[in-house]
């Protein structure tokens, strides 16, 4: 259908695999966006959701493209919402069709993650937030395994929405100066990774405090229960 309506845009469109292709696509879509903004917006949203729903790598290129097409703030809003919605769709697909497949191919990784989730069940949201903020976390794997780990969909959605804002912002901000970039190494430099790591560590603080408070409260409850039981026995 798109070919018959707009043959030029149809033949020019494909997911970029390197910086040169990304710059060419951004230049073409910027030109097309002047007169057909809604078409470009719909196309971008569809492509983004497609990648997120089926856990296809390469969302960083689309984040950068969002900055080039829509500006840093609108691009950040779009990427944050689309990432959350797409990841939740991936969650739903995995929940309905993918549990056995994921466990079959990644049994050890699922078991390790399950153990970590159970250890942090009292402060689950902050743990999920940490995982999303941590720059080395494979988000596609979290999306697929979350239903297996019995993570509530609301906590899943908001952890994605909030946790990926720093990463999305860095990519979108880069997109606003895409024509000036000569290498993607500038985006994923050590300084950028360290900043994301620092933010991720901050997300652990509330969870750690909650866990300590819960353990202290649990110990107090146990002590009170023991005293109460001993008192009953002596009576």
Task: Tell me the range of 82-86, 205-209, 210-214 where mean pLDDT is highest.
Answer: 82-86
For the four alpha carbons of 87, 89, 93 and 95, in that order, the dihedral sign comes to: positive
Question: pLDDT (tens digit, 9 = 90+) per residue, 84-133?
Answer: 999 999 999 999 998 999 999 999 999 999 999 998 888 889 899 989 98
Weakest mean pLDDT among 27-31, 66-70, 153-157, 190-194: 190-194
CA-to-CA distance for 189 and 187, rounded, in angstroms?
6
Question: pLDDT (tens digit, 9 = 90+) per residue, 2-54?
Answer: 444 455 555 557 888 888 888 888 888 888 888 889 999 999 999 999 999 99
Return the percentage of the chain with pLDDT > 70, whole number.
74
CA-to-CA distance for 56 and 33, rounded, in angstroms?
25
Confidence band of 134 (pLDDT split at 50, 70, 90)? confident
Contact between residue 127 and residue 94 where contact means Cβ atoms under 8 Å apart: no
Q: Is the pLDDT of residue 163 over 70?
A: yes
Sequence-ordered list of residues with C-beta below 8 angstroms from that of 24, at least 6 positions apart, any chain: 16
Residue that is written with structure tokens 């969870």 in the block: 207
Q: Is the pLDDT of residue 150 over 70?
A: yes
166/229: higher pLDDT: 166
Question: What is the average per-residue pLDDT within 178-196?
Answer: 69
Count of Cβ atoms closer than 10 Å to residue 133 Cβ? 24
Question: What is the average per-residue pLDDT within 124-150?
Answer: 90
Sequence-ordered list of residues with C-beta below 8 angstroms from that of 178, at least 6 positions apart, any chain: 22, 23, 26, 64, 67, 68
27/222: higher pLDDT: 27
Instruction: Please give the pLDDT value at position 154.
Output: 96
* Closest to 176 measured CA to CA, from 71, 74, 79: 71
Q: What's the token pair of residue 230?
A: 């001993």
pTM for this entry:
0.79
Weakest mean pLDDT among 17-21, 84-88, 134-138, 183-187: 183-187
Count of Cβ atoms closer than 10 Å to residue 4 Cβ? 7
| Mean pLDDT over each residue of the chain, to the nearest integer | 81
């Amino acid at each position: 259908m798109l070919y018959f309506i707009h043959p030029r845009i149809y033949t020019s469109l494909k997911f970029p695999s390197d910086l040169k292709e990304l710059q060419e696509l951004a230049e073409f879509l910027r030109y097309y966006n002047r007169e057909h903004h809604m078409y470009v917006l719909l196309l971008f949203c569809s492509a983004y959701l497609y990648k997120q729903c089926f856990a296809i790598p390469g969302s960083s290129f689309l984040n950068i493209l969002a900055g080039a097409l829509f500006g840093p703030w609108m691009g950040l809003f779009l990427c944050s919402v689309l990432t959350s919605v797409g990841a939740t769709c991936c969650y739903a697909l995995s929940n309905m069709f993918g549990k056995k497949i994921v466990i079959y191919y990644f049994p050890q990784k699922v078991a390790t993650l399950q153990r970590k989730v159970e250890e942090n069940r009292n402060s689950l949201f902050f743990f999920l937030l940490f995982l999303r903020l941590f720059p080395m976390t494979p988000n596609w794997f979290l999306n697929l395994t979350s239903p297996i780990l019995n993570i509530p969909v609301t906590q899943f959605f908001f952890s994605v929405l909030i946790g990926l804002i720093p990463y999305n912002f860095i990519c979108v901000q880069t997109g606003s100066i895409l024509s000036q970039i000569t290498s993607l190494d500038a985006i994923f430099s050590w300084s950028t990774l360290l900043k994301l790591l620092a933010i991720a560590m901050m997300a652990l603080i509330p969870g750690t405090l909650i866990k300590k408070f819960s353990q202290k409260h649990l110990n107090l409850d146990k002590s009170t229960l023991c005293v109460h039981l001993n008192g009953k026995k002596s009576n």
